[in-house]
Structure 1
Amino acid sequence: MPYRVLVADDDRAIRESLGRALELEGYAVVGAGDGVEALATARRDRFDALVLDVMMPSVDGLGVCRVLRADGDGTPILMLTARVETADRVAGLDAGADDYLPKPFELDELLARLRALLRRAAPDAPGRRLLLDRLTVDPGARRVWWLDTELVLSKTEFDLLELLVRNAGIVLDRATIYQRIWGYEFGPDSKNLAVYIGYLRRKLEDAGAAGLIHTVRGVGYTARSG
């Protein structure tokens, strides 16, 4: 069965051309012309991924993303944006998007990012749980606990924590983490990784698990107890 993708963009030419390109790649595509339609469609039907333009009338892409995440909908979201400032990209991540792509974009890059999102969202085969201090990570169920407290993590947050815990005690450089989590490198000035590390640290600290993720200046990050 083909992956189902919702493409929401108020520019009809972009929406239809992107839809045709995705269909040629084997995806089943549904289009939406604004945020209200996108939100109603995403709530009514099941999709494997959403491609949302940030600047849409009525409800923008960020608003759609926030509402869906508040509903508990974890469908992977790729945000398209003409805004290239770091603050605007961080706003997309804060809204719950899994990735963003500045306009104008190359189709090959969009397809690669979409494939990466779908790979990361695929359920893992049942396997053993990962342990670090009193932290338990269940890759099969995609759940995390500190003692008896379960952490609520987004897909990207879980993927990042699982990667660090699987490699506990090993310093992972930023390029490796970007490649493993996002499927490509963002460049030396990207703040994506730092933003998600910050999210994880806050959620771990709120559960009582402070100090598990360590920054190795100039290199990357590692997970270790103490």
Structure 2
Amino acid sequence: MVTRDRMPVILVADDSRLVTTLFQRVLQQHGYQVITTANGTEALEIGLSRQLDLAIMDQVMPGRVGAEVLQAWRSAGIHTPVIMVSAIEEPRMREAAIELGASFYLYKPISSDELLAAVERLLDPDGGAATQ
């Protein structure tokens, strides 16, 4: 459970309703405020208009893919930590996302424990944002 002055805000962007519902439930149970979207265009707009503490983005989704959203955010000077997720185990996609600044790249299916470990590592003030 997170103990802070305010609830950290996490964007979950994934076109799978099952994934967004599961991630939202797990994160809210651990004290995070969660915003969800099912497409990359909306994820881009949310990141440009709101202060987010973290984003969890599917690599492949309608509108814009996760890497495009990440690149646009970085070009706009937005350095929100990003956990990229994908069901496609393609090393080049992973490498490209890490080069663009993704902190973690996790392959689906992702357990609740794996998700929380990555989130807590990035949001823990004593932790580091090492890439995985």
The TM-score with structure 1 as length reference comes to 0.53
1:77, 1:99 within 8 Å by CA — same for their partners in 2? yes
Query: Which 5+ residue runs of structure 2 have no aligned equivalent?
Result: 1-5
Render the CA deviation track for 1:48-82: whole Å, top value 9, x for unaligned.
Answer: 00000001011011100000011111110000011
In structure 2, what is the equivalent of residue 81 of structure 1? Answer: 86
What is the distance in 2 between the residues matched to 1:110 and 1:17?
Answer: 11
SS at match of 2:7: coil
Matched, 1:5 2:32: no
Matched, 1:63 2:68: yes
In structure 1, what is the equivalent of residue 25 of structure 2? Answer: 20
The root-mean-square deviation of aligned C-alpha atoms, in Å, is: 1.7
Shift of 1:18: 1.0
Structure having greater relative contact order (Cα 8 Å, sep ≥ 6): 2
1:7, 1:30 within 8 Å by CA — same for their partners in 2? yes
What is the distance in 2 between the residues matched to 1:97 and 1:70?
Answer: 14
In structure 1, what is the equivalent of residue 49 of structure 2? Answer: 44
**Which contiguous aligned blocks of 4+ residues in structure 1 show a shift greater than 2 angstroms?**
none
Query: Which 5+ residue runs of structure 1 have no aligned equivalent?
Result: 124-154, 157-180, 187-226
* Count of aligned residue pairs for this structure pair: 126
Q: Percent identity?
A: 34
1:83, 1:89 within 8 Å by CA — same for their partners in 2? no
